[in-house]
Amino acid sequence: MTGTIPQLSLQQVSRRYGTDRQWFAVRQATLEVEHGEFVAIIGPSGSGKSTLLNIMGLLDNSWEGCFEVDGVQVNKLSSPERDRLRSRMFGFVFQSSYANPYESTARNAALGLAIRGESLDYQGVEVSRALETVGLSGKASSLARNLSGGERQRLALARAVATNPQVILADEPTGNLDSSSTSKVLELLKELNQRGTTVIVITHDPAVAEHADRVIEVRDGVVTEPVKGRQVQVRQAPIDGPIQERIPARQDQGILIRTTRRWQERILRAINNVSSRPLRSATLVAAFTIAIAGMITASGIGASASQQISDRLASAALDEVRVEVLSGTSREERLNRAQTIKGLAHVTNVGEIASIDASQARTSRLAQFQSVDGKAFPGSTVAVDEAALSLFEVETFPPQAAKLFGSEDAGKVALVGEAVSERLGVQWGGFGAEVWVSGTPYSVIGTISSAPRAQNLATSVVIPISAISNPASQLVVRTDIGFSAGVAEAIPLALSPAAPAEVAVSTTGDLRNLRIGVSQDLDGLLNSISIALLGLAVLSASSAMFLSVQTRIQELALSRALGLSQSGVAAIFIWEGIIVGFAGSIAGLSVGLVASVGVSAAQGWTAVMPWSAVALAPLVGVVSGAVSAFLPAVRAARIDPAEAIR
């Protein structure tokens, strides 16, 4: 197929706005633009010029009618195909062209090439050429925010030129410029046109229109034929052949390299976005830092605490067995049982302990009062025999109090736990004091200074078990280390050969299950706190990013106009989330480690940090960062590239 095909051909193209009551911004426009033309579009404000330009530049796709670019029907193209065609075919210059103020002039000019995935070398060559064309070579490395209005407009032109577009679409490119800048931009446009680039420019400026081959007028959405026309030397359409070949296809050759470069570009832009707004980014990172620090501290403290419980229980688990004694069992029977158990192999000692119910004990300093300050006694009341005191490694002050406590003729005596002696108004050593238990006075003969194997005794009033009649109790059996399980099995048979099942025996090994339960509860609690913190971090990061989309509309719309796909825009946001989440996780990890080591040290525990939590933290940061960026990414991807023109 050969022949002249118009470069752009619109047949009966209309664009409606509004939902309920619709109106036409462009009404049945029929227009052809040949290769190499310089077309000026004029008309009053609001007449539909920009709308027309948006359609021609593939920035807007919601029109009706037929529009062909080099003979290719645009409405048959998929969205990514349109993005690619736009990026190869068109260069855009807008009235207030956006430039990223935090990037250099050269990098701003390279945006279109970078979005395409061109190599840095190629970008360098093309950008130098483009900056030279517009006379900005000297400013290549200045930040865009330091450019004047005229320079910024020339930068926009350089950005359009750098991609070697076949068509330059300019929307009032000189609208904000003084006359000398205007003529410079105009000269540039003419020069490009003379080199073969089609130029379509919206203008109010008669001087600009004067330079054009053709002037088209738009009024109330109606495109009228040339008011000024001169015979144009129409150049032959440079590309002939099957239509499909004219859509810039993904280049198979080096596709991997281009894709990699595109990814690099997106990550780079994300890094740049994060680093160019340090205060905002620091706030976002801080939210993740708090959450991850919370998570690490929680799992560190959880693990250290359960290790602590585990250590304490481990020794008891190996050498202690308890046998339940029902209330009403006579003293004689109890002694018999203790004696029987003592006879078993590997049993070293047997003692007895009974907890007295607080309501029954009504423990107090004086008979008629609850305690010195009228409040109920906060500790527990237990009854033990002498053997139990030695089993629990109880130390008393004075030291001989324990012995006295155990002697047969001691009568009603009591030991008071150090931690509660003050509450009972009992002095150190307890001399001369009395405490009342179950309405009976007991003479205090000493205080308990430590009881490493029954720490609750430090908060208890302890009386001799012989002083109360037949309570429900436990026989505490000490075995050789490692024999608790074996002895626990032997005891029921020894005590009740006929019905061993009736003897209730437990080892503190059973408490291990309790420990697992307790530490699971603890972990569960700490985990839910850290999940809540993480949720808050995700929410706050998400809302901050969502708001930032609004402030970046121009930048994002421009990128879309230059060919960045919707997924590309979304990817930049997701990467920003990932970077922020990752930075937060590393900071949080450090804070969390310090905090959990600090807390453990303050408690006198051995600090334990589950490595899984340390390894998981960056992953949690990255994933939650990406999740927080998801909605903003979707919102950003939906930005209409035509926004760049407004």
Contacts with ligand ADP, residue ranges (CB under 6 A): 17, 25, 43, 45-51
Residues in Cβ contact with 436 at an 8 Å cutoff, skipping those fewer than 6 apart: 362, 363, 364, 365, 366, 367, 442
Closer CB to ligand ADP, 41 or 622, in the complex: 41
What is the C-alpha to C-alpha distance for residues 644 and 91, in angstroms, rounded to an integer? 13
The nearest distance, CB 121 to ligand ADP, in angstroms, is: 39
Kindly report the number of other CB atoms within 10 A of residue 183's CB atom: 14
The nearest distance, CB 205 to ligand ADP, in angstroms, is: 14
Per the listing, tokens 């009649």 go with: 469
The nearest distance, CB 541 to ligand ADP, in angstroms, is: 30
- Asked if 577 and 545 touch (Cβ cutoff 8 Å), the reply is yes
Closer CB to ligand ADP, 173 or 581, in the complex: 173
What does the angle CA 509 – CA 513 – CA 517 come to, to the nearest 5 degrees?
150
Closer CB to ligand ADP, 27 or 453, in the complex: 27
What is the C-alpha to C-alpha distance for residues 11 and 199, in angstroms, rounded to an integer? 20
Closest CA to 59 of 1, 105, 123, 15: 15
What does the angle CA 165 – CA 168 – CA 174 come to, to the nearest 5 degrees?
140
The nearest distance, CB 156 to ligand ADP, in angstroms, is: 18
The nearest distance, CB 108 to ligand ADP, in angstroms, is: 25
Closer CB to ligand ADP, 217 or 385, in the complex: 217
Closest CA to 34 of 71, 63, 78, 77: 71
Would you state the structure tokens that stand for residue 620, as one six-digit string? Answer: 């949690």
Closer CB to ligand ADP, 25 or 169, in the complex: 25
Phi/psi of residue 161, each to 5°?
-70, -35
What is the C-alpha to C-alpha distance for residues 209 and 220, in angstroms, rounded to an integer? 20
The nearest distance, CB 530 to ligand ADP, in angstroms, is: 45
The nearest distance, CB 175 to ligand ADP, in angstroms, is: 11
Closer CB to ligand ADP, 43 or 632, in the complex: 43
What is the C-alpha to C-alpha distance for residues 503 and 324, in angstroms, rounded to an integer? 7
Closer CB to ligand ADP, 219 or 258, in the complex: 219
What is the C-alpha to C-alpha distance for residues 24 and 15, in angstroms, rounded to an integer? 6
The nearest distance, CB 47 to ligand ADP, in angstroms, is: 4
Closer CB to ligand ADP, 47 or 281, in the complex: 47
Would you state the structure tokens that stand for residue 612, as one six-digit string? Answer: 């899984």
The nearest distance, CB 52 to ligand ADP, in angstroms, is: 7
What is the C-alpha to C-alpha distance for residues 54 and 427, in angstroms, rounded to an integer? 92
Closer CB to ligand ADP, 26 or 321, in the complex: 26
The nearest distance, CB 236 to ligand ADP, in angstroms, is: 32
DSSP 464-516: EGGGSSS--EEEEEEESTT-HHHHHHHHHHHH-SS-GGGS-EEETHHHHHHHH
Closer CB to ligand ADP, 51 or 100, in the complex: 51
Per the listing, tokens 């679409």 go with: 169
The nearest distance, CB 27 to ligand ADP, in angstroms, is: 11
The nearest distance, CB 199 to ligand ADP, in angstroms, is: 17
- Asked if 573 and 265 touch (Cβ cutoff 8 Å), the reply is no
- Asked if 356 and 438 touch (Cβ cutoff 8 Å), the reply is yes
What is the C-alpha to C-alpha distance for residues 610 and 302, in angstroms, rounded to an integer? 9
Kindly report the number of other CB atoms within 10 A of residue 368's CB atom: 6
Closer CB to ligand ADP, 195 or 638, in the complex: 638
What does the angle CA 217 – CA 222 – CA 226 come to, to the nearest 5 degrees?
30
The nearest distance, CB 17 to ligand ADP, in angstroms, is: 4
What does the angle CA 506 – CA 512 – CA 517 come to, to the nearest 5 degrees?
115
Closer CB to ligand ADP, 51 or 624, in the complex: 51
The nearest distance, CB 584 to ligand ADP, in angstroms, is: 38
Would you state the structure tokens that stand for residue 83, as one six-digit string? Answer: 């993005």
Closer CB to ligand ADP, 25 or 338, in the complex: 25
Closer CB to ligand ADP, 18 or 242, in the complex: 18
DSSP 179-240: HHHHHHHHHHHHHHHHTT-EEEEE-S-HHHHHH-SEEEEEETTEEEEEEEE----PPPPS--
